[in-house]
Structure 1
Amino acid sequence: MQFKPVPDPPADLERLETVRRALPADAGEIDDCCQHLIDETPLETRDEAGTWLTFLRALELAAEEPVGFRRRGPASSGDADSPALDRDRLGQRFRDRVYGADAALAVLERADEPLPTGAVADALGDDRSSSERRSRPNGVSEDRVERLLGWAALLGVADRVENGYRLAPVREKK
């Protein structure tokens, strides 16, 4: 399953961990998760909180159950309350589970040089089938592509450089 909502990327992974840790350990502990995130984190609106909840689900840092949301352990082998986030696992989950992330990264992979956001959005628009172009003639939102690329850079799967973005070199496992 892929998830479409992508919040604005924060300056660092600390915000991701702050929002994840604000979720209850057990579903049903709080009645209104969106309001709870507004009260406990720098998030300001219900829409923003809802987007973050969905995005945390995509990264497998939150789970939705019939009685509400709960936090899941970070993408590491440690304790569920461990602050260590494994960027490699998060990057892979981002690529696999966030709609459009893999396609945007594939555009970077095919490029010989760093690409600005607009060029990635244009390439994604060109990759759509003719029926998709008819149903959404304005193409792919550059704002959404900017958020995707920002998260890709934060999670270490892309690099932000002076001219735009490029695919990050594969890091060796230790």
Structure 2
Amino acid sequence: MKFKLVPEAPEALGFVADAQAAVPLVPGSEDDCCARLMRRLGLRSRDVARTWLTFLRALDLAEETEDGFKRLRADPTPAYLREQFLTGVYGAGDVADALLAADAEGKSDPDRESDPDEANGLAADEAFAVFVDRVPNWERYRTDDWESVWRERVERHLAWFVLLDLAERRGDAYAATDRLRELRERADNDG
């Protein structure tokens, strides 16, 4: 199962380990887990805490059981988080594909001669344009501003890609890193 909710990327990956540690080992209710996340991490609202709880499930660092939510004992190393982000977060693979396609078209080559007004990489709006067809139909009817909701999600994906060293920021654009290329090549060879 893939999860859609992605929180704002923190300043450092260590925050993910702190969030995981805030989830109890003994299952607790969603309300209890959100309260713990808010208290331990200083999150500003229950909605933000719930987003983090869902995101931890996407990263396979927490799970929902019949008795509530509990922490899993996985070690949130950068390599582990990269793999889990790409496989557990809805749309992350599509954003990765868009970055790699821009790379294949030469848009991400830092040495290429380009128009100074043209971004060197993939802009967030371009990533959203590639992704927009993947937005589920029911999400489009759920709210009038679904495009802004999903545009923000794609922007958050890109921020996480940078934090996870899967992309680098170049001005207003993003470019795939060697690490992303290696992960995708390995996945293609394994699949």
TM range, smaller chain = 0.7 to 0.9
Q: Choose between structure 1 and 2: higher helix proportion.
A: 2
Q: Which stretches of structure 1, 4 residues or longer, exceed 4 Å deviation after superposition?
A: 135-140
Cα pair distance change 1:153/1:50, threshold 3 Å? same
**Contact 2:2–2:90 (Cα < 8 Å) also in 1:** yes
Size of the aligned set, in residue pairs, is 161
Equivalent residue, structure 2, for 1:78: none
Gaps of 5+ in 1: 76-84
Instruction: Letter of the 1:69 partner, please give it.
Output: F
Match of 1:97, as an amino acid? G
1:121 aligns with 2:128: yes
Cα separation, partners in 2 of 1:144 and 1:35, compared to 1, 3 Å: same
Given the two structures, how large is their TM-score scaled by the length of structure 2?
A: 0.74
- Corresponding position of 1:9: 9
Alpha-carbon deviation of 1:33?
1.0
Give the equivalent residue in structure 2 for 1:45: 45
Q: Deviations over 1:92-146 (max 9, x none)?
A: 1111110111101100110032111111111222x459x95xx569657221111
For residues 172 and 31 of structure 2, the distance between their equivalents in structure 1, rounded to whole angstroms, comes to: 46
Kindly report which structure 2 residues correspond to 1:6-85, keeping only aligned pairs within 5 A, or say none.
Answer: 6-28=6-28, 32-75=32-75, 85=76
Q: Percent identity?
A: 36
In 1: Cα distance, 2:160 partner to 2:179 partner: 17
Over aligned residues, Cα RMSD in angstroms? 2.8
Contact 1:88 1:156 in 2 (8 A): no
Does 1:159 find its partner at 2:168? yes
